[in-house]
Amino acid sequence: MFGLDARIALAIFGALSVISGAALYSAIQAAKNEAKVQTGLELYKGIEQYMLDKGELFATGNVTYTDVGLIAKNFDSDPLWNGPYYGESTSTRIYIKLAGFTGNTAIDENFQLGKWGKDVVSPSYESCFVASICYFYLFRSYSVQTLIMKA
C-alpha cells in the first residue's frame, strides 16, 4: 500500500514525536519543580522581611509556640508590622498558598486562625522554643521531595 519511502518517513516522524514528547514532559516537570522552589523562596523572603521589620521571629501564642499566621495578618495591630509578607487573609482564615506541594488547593490553603502546625488539615501551634533555632519545613508528604528553609 505504502512505498518504502513513505514507511521510512512515517518511522522517522514517529521517532521524532516520541523524542519531542519526552523532552516536553521533562520540561514541564522542570517547570513544576522550579515553581515549588520559587514558592519556597518567596515564603522565605516574607519570613525574613517580617523579622527585619519586627526585630524578632513570630510572636508567640504562649511562652513556647510561634504564630506563623502573622506573616499574612496583623492580629495584634502592631505598628511595626508592614505586611502581609506572604499569603492573604480574611477575618477567620489565612491563605498561605503552597502551589504544587500537595496538589489539593483545599489543603494547600488550609491554615486557619493564624495557626500553622504539623497537621495542615486541623491546624495547631507547633513548638518553637525561644532559646532554640526554629525551622520551617515545606514538604510533600507522599514523596521524598523536601524543601527545607532555615528561618
pLDDT in tens, 73-88: 777 788 988 888 877 6
Contacts of 58 (CB under 8 A, 6+ apart): 50, 66, 67, 68, 70, 71, 128
Say which amino acid occupies 141. S
Cα(91)–Cα(38) distance, rounded to whole angstroms? Answer: 28
**Lowest pLDDT segment from 64-73, 74-83, 98-107:** 98-107
> Could you tell me which residues are beta bridge partners of residue 65?
127
Helix ranges restricted to H, 55-116 = 105-108
**Lowest pLDDT segment from 3-12, 21-30, 63-72:** 63-72
Would you list the domain boundaries of the chain? 38-150
Please state, for a pLDDT cut of 90, what percent of the chain lies above it. 0
What pLDDT does 86 receive?
A: 78
3-state secondary structure 58-95: CCECCCCEECHHHHCCCCCCCCCCCCCCCCEECCCEEE
Cα(140)–Cα(134) distance, rounded to whole angstroms? Answer: 20
What pLDDT does 48 receive?
A: 84
What pLDDT does 83 receive?
A: 82
